[in-house]
Amino acid sequence: MKNTKLFRLLAVLLAITLVAAACGSDAAEDTADGGDDAAATDSGDDSSGDDSSGDDSSGDDGGDTDTVTVTQGSVLATVLDRGEVNCGIPTSAVGFAEQDANGVWAGFDVDYCHAVAAAVFGDRDAVNFVPLTAAERFTAVQTGEVDLLMRTTTWTQGRDASGDQAMDFGPTTFYDGQQLVGRRSQGFSESSTIADVDGTNVCTNAGTTTEKNISDGVAAVGGSFTLVAAEDIPTAVEAFVAGQCDIFTSDGSAVAGEAAVNEDNADGDWVVFPATPISKEPLGPVYPQNDSEWGDIINWVVFATIIADEKGIDSSNAADRLADEQAKAAAGGEGLDAEVLRLLGGEGELQSALNLPADAFLNVISQVGNYDEIYVSNVTERIGLVREGSANAGWLDGGLIYAPPAR
Ligand SMILES: N[C@@H](CCC(=O)N[C@@H](CS)C(=O)NCC(=O)O)C(=O)O
C-alpha cells in the first residue's frame, strides 16, 4: 500500500489493448425503437438471432468489435488512491439493486458492494455505484470503469476464459436458474414446459445467458419462437404486461421479483414455470482478470459473510463476539473459537496478508451483515424467496453456500 505510485506505474505499464467483443447496445436500441425490429424468429442454430448474441467465441455478449483498454493488476492500489470502490450493479433488479426516491441504492448485489467498501476502507459507503445494463457490463470491467461487477451475472466458461473477455469470477453468492412466466388465461400452468414456448413471443433483456438458454432449449425440442430483446428487465416486463409477449423469461429471482412487484398486473393470472429451472445461473462477483490481490479480497469478503453466518456472527453481535473471544484467549483459551477470533481480526495476520486492515471483516459484518442477513433482508423480504430447501441454504442445511476455512 505504501507503494501506491509504483503500483499505478505498473498498472499503466501493464495496461494492454485488446480487441474485445463490445457489448453492443444495438439490440436494446432496436427494441426501444419499436420492438419488432429486435424480434427475430428463432428456428434453431442461430438461436436468438438478436444483435447481442453475435457469433464470437466469447459466448453470449458479443456483437460489434471495438477496441477496449484492458487494465490488469493493481486494482487495490487504484481503489485506495481513489478513496472508493467503483461497483457495477443492475440498473434495476428487484431485491438485487433498486434505487429509492432519494437516490439510495439497496439490494443483495448492492450490499456486496458495500461489503467490499467496508473491508477496504472501514466505511460501507465508500462506494460509487455504476448502474449497468446487461449489454454494458463486461466492457465496464474490461476497461476498468468498474473495479467490481455485482450484477446478477452468471459465471460461464466463455466469460471466464482468458482472451477477449478478460475477466475473473469470484465465489457464487446466489445460485439461480432460468424460469419463465406466462398467463394462465393463455393456457400456461405450473406444469408447462419448454415445449410450450413453441410459437410464442418471448421477452427478456439483451446481452444475457437468458437469450441463449431459451434459444437452445426451444430448438432442442424442435420448436421456434420470436425473441423480443429489451435493453433491461423493466422494459421487457412492460412489453409482457402490454401483451407484446406471451412469455417473460429471466433468472428465476427476477421472474419471482417481477411477479412480486406486479401483483396488480399478475392478478393471479401469471404463472411461473417450469418447476425445475431450464439452466444453471450461478451469480456472483466479476473483476478484472489476472489481479490476484484484488481477486483474493473480493473472494474472502464473500467467504467472510458465509463463515460469519455459519458461526452465528451478525451485524448486532460481531463486536461483542470479538471481545468475548479475546477475553477467552486472554484467560488461557478455554471455550475459545479460534476461527471467530481470526475472522474478526483478533488474532493473526489473515486479513493483513490480504493487504486489508486487520479488522476488515469485523467491519463487513458489523456494517453490512452476514450472508443470511444480506439474503433475508433483500431476497426474502422483497421477493419472498427463502433459503430453506434451496441451493442457497448453507451446506450444513443441504444447500451449496460454503466457504473455505479462515485459517
Ligand atoms: N444472469 C444472466 C442474466 C443477467 C440479467 O440481466 N439479469 C436481470 C435479471 S436478474 C437483471 O439484472 N436485470 C437488471 C437490469 O436490466 O439492469 C446473465 O448473467 O446473463
Measured from the Cα of 156, ligand 1's closest atom is 19
Q: For residue 68, what pLDDT is reported?
A: 55
* Whether the CB of 289 sits within 6 Å of ligand 1: no
CATH number of the structural domain 26-57+175-281? 3.40.190.10
Measured by CA distance, the residue closest to atom 20 of ligand 1 is: 208
Q: How confident is the model at residue 73 (pLDDT cuts 50, 70, 90)?
A: low
Question: What is the band of 29 on the pLDDT scale with cuts at 50, 70, 90?
Answer: very low
Domain extents in the chain: 26-57+175-281
Note the pLDDT of residue 50.
34
User: Cell numbers of 394, please?
Assistant: 448453507
Mean predicted lDDT score pLDDT of the chain: 85
Q: What is the pLDDT of residues 251-261, one digit of tens each?
A: 999 999 999 89
Residue carrying the nine cell digits 474478526: 344
DSSP E strands: which ranges in 113-246? Answer: 127-132, 148-149, 167-169, 174-176, 178-183, 201-205, 225-230
Residue of 149, 160, 203, 210 with the most ligand 1 atoms within 8 Å of its CB, for mutation? 210
Residue 44 pLDDT > 90: no
More confident position, 41 or 136: 136
- Do the Cβ atoms of 48 and 211 come closer than 8 Å? yes
Share of the chain above pLDDT 90, in %: 78
Residue 58 pLDDT exceeds 70: no
pLDDT digits 0-9 by tens, 195-245: 999 999 999 999 999 999 999 999 999 999 999 999 999 999 999 999 999
H-helix or E-strand spanning residue 105: strand 105-106
Ligand 1 contact, 59 CB (< 6 A): no
Instruction: Count other Cβ atoms within 10 Å, centred on residue 18.
Output: 14
pLDDT of residue 147: 98
Q: What global pTM score does this model have? A: 0.85
Task: Kindly give the distance from the C-alpha atom of residue 181 to the centroid of ligand 1, in angstroms, as a whole number.
Answer: 16
